[in-house]
Amino acid sequence: MARNKNKPAKEPKARRFRLALVNDDTHEHIWTLRFTRWTFFLTVISIVTSLLVLALCLVAFTPLRTFVPGYPDAQARRAAARDARAIDSLEGVIGRWEFYSENLRKVVAGENPVVIDSLIRNYLSPDESPVDREYLVGQDSVLRQTVREAERFGLSSARSRELPLEGMHFFTPIKGVVSRGYETLVHPYIDISAPLGSVVMSVMDGTVVSASWSDEYGYSLVIQHPDNIISIYRHNSKLLKKEGDKVSAGASVALSGNTASVQDASHLRFELWYRGEAVDPVKYITF
């Protein structure tokens, strides 16, 4: 077959390129850049990567990061630190409340309460050396012998301070009328009818071991008195003392009301416990 002489020859592909900046009037080359396809693509990728790295550095190490949606600013971090401290404080309060509640349950049940000093001793006991233990055992024996001799010759005044419940003086917790008396099984407390907002007073000197609110009893106050006596005041409209407060006999501790789930007439539910057992307050207090 004869070759077609009129068909133009195939031009070779360009492998190198040149980008020039030329003066239009003098045709002088001001700036020239020579490159290939690979160098062009590598240059573009390098420029884009450098821009991305620069943007990330600006966001990470400059105040521009605060403009990123969802990034916490200084105020948010301070609020988070404040909330963390508040949570830590609440955990401490809850721990103390659980400790008080457990001790109160043991006192009401007639069991021996947990003493904080014993917890400290148990915590420190692994660090004590055998010599320290022997020394403490010896000192404890000497103390026990001293106490026995004091009791033998009547030098101890602990027994002289113990009085029967009938010989103790109680303040009347509220001025009112006993609307329902004490029943050992079904009603181991008394209800005292009084006007709403009447002052509720502590029957003896003591310490508030619980100040709480519940749907069943409303605002309640529990006071620990000497000689294993506990007084409980329920259905109050407001508490005037908080947990840990020291109160004196006749001091105002609450205002009467009816904040329980069962709405009856305004009254105070009063409980008196002695050595872990509920007793009839009417036998020892004049209402």
Domain boundaries, the chain: 16-55, 128-161, 168-283
Measured from the Cβ of residue 253, the count of other Cβ atoms closer than 10 Å reads 24
Measured from the Cβ of residue 177, the count of other Cβ atoms closer than 10 Å reads 10
Average pLDDT, rounded, for the chain = 78
Each residue's pLDDT tens digit, 195-241: 998 999 999 999 999 999 988 888 999 999 998 999 999 999 999 99
Q: Does domain 168-283 have CATH number 2.70.70.10?
A: yes
Q: Is the pLDDT of residue 112 over 60?
A: yes
Q: Is the pLDDT of residue 34 over 60?
A: yes
Each residue's pLDDT tens digit, 151-189: 555 444 444 445 577 778 899 999 999 999 999 888 899
Measured from the Cβ of residue 34, the count of other Cβ atoms closer than 10 Å reads 10
